[in-house]
Chains A and B, each alone.
Chain A
Amino acid sequence: MAIDNRNLWPDLAPSRAGAGAQAADEVLRLDDLRISVHGGAATAVRGVSLRVRPGEIVGLVGESGSGKTLTCRAILGVLPPGCAVERGTVSFGGVDVTSLSRRDWERLHGSHLGAVFQDPASYLNPVLTVGGQLAEVLRVKLGLGRRAAHSRALELFEAVGLRQPERVFHQIPAELSGGMLQRVMIAIAISCDPRLLVADEPTTALDVTIQAEVLELLQRLRDERGLAVLFVSHDLAVITQLCDRIVVFYAGEIVESGPAGEITRRPRHPYTQALLRVASVGDFRRRELEVIAGQPPRVGEDITGCRFAARCPVAVPECGAGPIRSVPVGDRHQVRCVHAARAVVTS
């Protein structure tokens, strides 16, 4: 079911000159996104730029309060009260959506964008059958008839690996396990064939065995449908397992981004290196449990230079001298660190 998504909202003009050329191979593009919180009193996300290509799984990783979830919500147009996009753009296929009206967002949700979150039960109506809720989306968004919506819903349940779709269709959320509910949410999210699925900690509340199954499902959806996925997690192990590219957030900034293999084998930012040391290695051998000394800065705290410097084992005076630029250190591999910048200059 291929839908040319741009035709669904022809009245929205492409925002930037030159964006059109790249738009074809970009599902999502963030440029210098800044998000303010507490009604503009503080900046929680500072200058985030990233791209997601079709069929690519991109993982955002960072500690709680690092801004990864806020970034996600800005992409979905559902920032919590008191938060606003201060600067920068979010664009889908070359069209800026930062100042869309509610109506336009509604057209975008489903057809361009699907979303799943940590707690699937709280996004479903507890007294309606899950099948009915999926069919409703199909009828409203795609204009399907009652019968067509029903059979399409069963197909979707099957596609997300629910074993007895006909039975699940008539069940209410309380009758399903957490893993099954998350599959239902994924079925709803992909029901209108979106190009991008935003998944914010979708497996955090699940058992490891179920988590592994959901991660496999996301990979399969990517392979079969060319779905791009933006996956958010605080668990670097989950991110490396699933993603093609990893974006590391620290205190509201992207400190490193690059191909998953590069990031895990040759991390260049001291924070990424530290995260890898504390992450679950999964070899099940007894090892020293390491910690990252110190605390991350408070949300919105004003710091000149590198925001990780206070906790960094290799910090030098330069780190606090001025804003640190993100420099390329490899193929699509960027690092925001004075040491990496210096290495680039000398080479």
Chain B
Amino acid sequence: MTDAPAAPDSVAAPPLLAVESVDVTLGRGWRANQVLSGVDLDVWPGEIVGLVGETGSGKTTLARTVVGLVHPRRGRILFEGLPISALRRGALRAQRRRGYVQLVFQDPLRSLDPDLTVAEIVAEGLRIRGETDRGEIRQRVTSALEKVGLDATVLERTPGQISGGQRQRVSIARALAVEPRLLICDEPVSALDASTRNYVLRLLEELRTSLGLAIVIISHDLSSLAGIADRIVVLYRGRIVEDGPVDRVFATPRHPYTALLMASAPSVQHDRPFSPQQLRRSGSDPALQPGPGGCVFAVRCPFAAEVCATQPALATIGERWSVACHRHEEWSELAQTAIRQEGPAHAR
């Protein structure tokens, strides 16, 4: 990867964003539900991080915690070395107004005010920040829209009057208008057609290059992340189970869950190292019930063994590559043996 500007050359420079052993609990009392457990994540300037995981894995909660919409119960979040999760009241509002971290929401049709025009939507962040000069606002709105490839013709339209791809670009322009350093995009392309999806992803990559933005893309589509991300972070039930460089992780996933995600992704080609069936616990196999404190994935993992009764820590296994699995060195061989015993994988 020649275009990854992400490698931290100097250890001294702090990451742009540091999430340090964050726990998040949503709800109170008997309803309390621990959504994130001990999440550690660093994002460096100019880096594109792909955050993947299934529904309920805590991807969106992590994004909301980073922008300060949810407070962590434990751990802290640092932005450029400043612990933003500890800020309260005035200091928190001041930090938010600076707009260094911007969130692009999942469904632009629902997250953009249907009664406002595109111009008003994009200008809103600037107004909140205290910008009053109309000419200045106008100029910044136009330039933000230009960055996402939209021209002045959409300015006076409302979100309902433009196409899905354009709407997603408007919500990116809204985030860009306040000149953030970190953009967090929650499923930015899941509702779009393939061609539009690629267009929006390419746009994000261009913005990274031209503005030096760090971008976190939350997605369940691994294949499109393969096209642009530098790093892949896999969440499962509120825990990071694998974190590493995209080409390494996708070449040889070291957590069985990462491998299952990859094997399940639909594809035009049919050659895969594993079929989803090999990475799933079969129905007849009684589900392992590790007690509290066991590996979160053990219930679904066909390779779970006695060691899995304790939660494995995220351990470094290579350069900037870590995985939380007791059997990360053994399982892929076990899966291979299973193929030899049962004959070739189900193939059509």
Contact = CB atoms under 8 A, between A and B. Distances in A.
Query: A and B: partners?
Result: yes
Interface of B: 1, 54-55, 163-164, 193-199, 201-202, 205, 220-224, 226-228, 246-247, 250-251, 260-269, 272, 276, 283
Contact of A291 (B164, B199, B268): B199
A284 B226 contact: yes
7 contacts: A64-B193, A211-B266, A240-B266, A280-B265, A281-B223, A284-B250, A286-B246
A289 B227 contact: yes
A290 B247 CA distance: 19
B264 A235 contact: no
Interface in A173-221: 177-178, 207-213, 215-216
Contact of A237 (B246, B247, B268): B268
Interface of A: 63-64, 161, 163, 177-178, 207-213, 215-216, 234-238, 240-241, 264, 274-276, 278-292, 295
A285 B226 contact: yes
A67 to B, nearest CB: 14
A161 B264 CA distance: 17
A211 B194 CA distance: 18
Given A208-B222, A275-B194, A286 B247 contact: yes
A172 to B, nearest CB: 18
Nearest to B195: A292
A285 B197 CA distance: 17
B198 A278 contact: yes
Given A208-B220, A282-B223, A276 B276 contact: no
Given A216-B276, A275-B194, A284-B250, 16 more contacts: A64-B164, A207-B54, A234-B194, A236-B194, A237-B223, A237-B265, A240-B267, A279-B268, A280-B268, A282-B223, A283-B267, A287-B226, A289-B198, A289-B201, A289-B205, A289-B227
A209 to B, nearest CB: 5
Nearest to A163: B283
A63 to B, nearest CB: 4
B3 to A, nearest CB: 9
A63 B193 contact: yes
Contacts of B247: 285-286
